[in-house]
Every structure is written in structure tokens, then in C-alpha cells.
Amino acid sequence: MAYPNITSQPATQTTVVMAPGGQFQGKRNWSSGMCDCFNDMTSCLCVTFLGPYYAMSLASRMGESACVPCCVPGSLIVMRTKLRTEQGIEGSICDDCLMSHFCGHCVLCQLARELNYTEQTRGAMSPSPY
């Protein structure tokens, strides 16, 4: 008597993240490139001349303590990773580390532009109170 050949296949699992309202929410790119600093001269000038204070302001806007840039080692990496993760932006911790180490000023400008972008899109998507 012949027995059927039964093989075990690994189970695959797919995770789908749904936004409120049932829309698919996947990974996206940054709203601006790393070297788009001159598209927002305000943040570019603030980072250049008031870097530590501007970083403290960005930390507060991200819902963190303003002391993070001064007291947390590698704070720029942490801030970039946090924003990227919360906003579903493509990337890796290694990328965050390299960008923060070699282009710290550009990272601060990119964080500011991304926060502005998310605040604008959130404001555009929320219903009007009138």
C-alpha cells in the first residue's frame, strides 16, 4: 500500500495595517529629500545658527522632552527613527545612524520639513469645525 507524501510547508503570515476608515496604510518615502534644505530656508537658517535650540523645539513638536537633544546620546538618530517609525516612512536604523552622523544639519532640516508636512496633511484631512 502506498502512502501519500505529505510535506510540511511553513505558514506565511501577512500583516495589513489599516488606517481609520479602512484605507490601506503602507510604507511611504520622506516628503522631501535629505538635501532639500534650501526648499525651507527658515529651518535651514535656524539649524545653522540656532542648532541646539532648534533640535529642542523639534523634540517638543514630536511629543518628547525638549531635553532629549541635550541629554540623550545619539539623540538625532533616536528622533529620526521615532519620526520615521511613527509616520510609516521607509528606511532602517542603519540609514538613520549614517545620515545623522554624516549629515546632522540636513537631518534636522528634514525632520522639520516632515513635521510641517504631517501637520499640514493632518490639518487638510481633518473635518472643518464649521
pLDDT, one tens digit per residue, over 73-125 is: 999 999 999 999 999 999 999 999 999 999 999 999 999 999 999 988 887 65
The answer to the question of residue 4 being in a domain is no
Exposed / middle / buried, residue 126 (Cβ in 10 Å: 0-12, 13-18, 19+)? exposed
Domain count for the chain: 1
Could you tell me the residue range of the domain that residue 85 belongs to?
A: 37-125
pTM: predicted TM-score of the whole model, two decimal places: 0.74
The residue assigned the cell 489599516 is: 18
The answer to the question of residue 63 being in a domain is yes
Q: Which residues on neighbouring strands pair with residue 18, listed in sequence order?
A: 24
pLDDT at 71: 95
The answer to the question of residue 7 being in a domain is no
The residue assigned the cell 535651514 is: 44
The answer to the question of residue 27 being in a domain is no
What are the backbone angles phi and psi of residue 129, rounded to the nearest 5°? -75, -5
Higher pLDDT, 124 or 22: 124
The answer to the question of residue 28 being in a domain is no
The answer to the question of residue 12 being in a domain is no
The answer to the question of residue 96 being in a domain is yes
The answer to the question of residue 54 being in a domain is yes
Q: Which residues on neighbouring strands pair with residue 28, listed in sequence order?
A: 89
Write the DSSP symbol of residue 28: B
pLDDT at 122: 81
